[in-house]
Structure 1
Amino acid sequence: MKSDTPADGKVQAAGRPRDPRIDAAILRAAADLLAEVGYSNLTMAAVAERAGTTKTALYRRWSSKAELVHEAAFPAAPTALTTPAGDIAADVRAMIGAARDTFTTPVVRAALPGLIADVAADPALNARVMERFVDLFGAVRTRLADAVARGEVHADVDPDRLIEVIGGATMLGLLLRGRSLDDEWVEQTSAIVTRGVVA
């Protein structure tokens, strides 16, 4: 039997077009509830009630709470670096600043602990969630390849590890420092990533 679940994990009834107004209402309701009650207390029923729709409508679009929460917390997956090409230090600084800005929002702060646990426990869900960042990963690879060609970056720098270093530093910084990831933190972290720690 053929599944009606597309590659992105969102379920949609055959022949029934998605209503973007319902999508927007559901995502807005999920984001508001996340900030109010947190991830563990969020239920699909509560989201449906807040959005003025049904649980069936939610599950037609998202196969699980984790997938709904991911899209509510990260409504627009980054698709490219917006800084001008040709300066890898500026690229790194922009990536760290963007990570800081994203992870310090109330919705992401409320969603992240539970979301990480659920995604870690479900490899298929993890794969679907990570698909939303394919374009960003591609943009980072392109920028690093260009920087290597200019002699600006070591050829053995792995773009995936760079993304992990930036994301990991940001999340741990939030855990240790709370909300105080200011511009000085961005500059200092950028300097460590781009220059290293060896004199």
Structure 2
Amino acid sequence: MANPRTAGRPRDPRIEQAALAAVRDLLVEGGYPAVTVAAVADRAGTTKAALYRRWPALPHLIHEAAFPDELAQDLVLGADLATDLAGIVRGTLDTLSSPPGAAALPGLLAEVTTWPDLHAAMMRRFEGVFGALGERLREAVADGEARDDARADDVLRVVIGSVIAGLLLTPGELDDAWVERIAAMLARGLRP
């Protein structure tokens, strides 16, 4: 059976890349309020209609630009649990404090209540991290490094919450020593 023909022209991947780059630039230059569909379309050399064909709403585009898929793919686990936890804390801090991430985060947190599918998209983007950490915690439980009730979602909530609170309250103090302290607290809390 032949593949059914789809209507219209194939999408030009250059438009997606140009739009994502435009959003990152606008976030860094003017923060979340500077990112409008019109500004993105103008900067990317496309139309608002082309953007809406690719993303259901502006927050979805901002989310994809500020937190690209590659971020979740950089997770490398397998060292001792404390080292793995430090890597997760450091990676989360790097992601959320990057110029586009830091500019996008407050607006996206506000948008999640308006766009429930945005929350689902965020969860899908990081499901690889949840899966990898879940597997690592199962190994840690089997090796006696962690309690049997250790859960990846709990660990990631604590890490993400700590990073967001740190960025809000003491952004200048989130250095390597802070990362190690948070990771050590997590490791102690997970011990059997």
Could you state the TM-score of these two structures normalised by the residue count of structure 2? Answer: 0.89
Letter in 1 for 2:183: S
Q: Is the 8 A contact 1:119 1:125 kept in 2?
A: yes
Q: Distance in 2 between matches of 1:42 and 1:33?
A: 6
Which consecutive unaligned segments of at least 5 residues does structure 2 have? 1-5
Which consecutive unaligned segments of at least 5 residues does structure 1 have? 1-12
* 1:118 lines up with 2:121 in the alignment: no
Shift in alpha-carbon separation, 1:45–1:135, aligned structure 2, 3 A: same
Q: Distance in 1 between matches of 2:46 and 2:179?
A: 41
Letter in 2 for 1:81: L
* 1:79 lines up with 2:45 in the alignment: no
2:166 corresponding residue in structure 1: 173
Letter in 2 for 1:71: E
Q: Distance in 2 between matches of 1:35 and 1:155?
A: 43
CA offsets per residue over residues 40-75 of structure 1, 9 Å max, x none?
A: 332111100011110011111111111000011011
Give the alignment partner of residue 32 of structure 2, picking from 24, 34, 39: 39
Q: Is the 8 A contact 1:29 1:51 kept in 2?
A: yes
Could you state the TM-score of these two structures normalised by the residue count of structure 1? Answer: 0.86
SS at match of 1:81: coil
Shift in alpha-carbon separation, 1:153–1:188, aligned structure 2, 3 A: same
Shift in alpha-carbon separation, 1:16–1:146, aligned structure 2, 3 A: farther
Q: Distance in 1 between matches of 2:21 and 2:123?
A: 22
Q: Distance in 1 between matches of 2:22 and 2:73?
A: 25
Q: Distance in 2 between matches of 1:108 and 1:80?
A: 16
Q: Distance in 2 between matches of 1:177 and 1:121?
A: 29
2:132 corresponding residue in structure 1: 139
1:51 corresponding residue in structure 2: 44
Q: Distance in 2 between matches of 1:81 and 1:128?
A: 19
* Higher normalized helix content (fraction of residues): 2
Q: Distance in 1 between matches of 2:109 and 2:11?
A: 28
1:7 corresponding residue in structure 2: none
The two structures, once aligned, show a CA RMSD in angstroms of: 1.6
SS at match of 2:43: helix
Q: Distance in 2 between matches of 1:162 and 1:88?
A: 12
Give the alignment partner of residue 149 of structure 2, picking from 150, 153, 156: 156
Shift in alpha-carbon separation, 1:135–1:107, aligned structure 2, 3 A: same
Q: Is the 8 A contact 1:80 1:139 kept in 2?
A: no
Q: Distance in 1 between matches of 2:7 and 2:179?
A: 47
Give the percent of matched residue pairs that are identical in Structure 1 and Structure 2. Answer: 49
Number of aligned residues: 183
Letter in 2 for 1:186: V
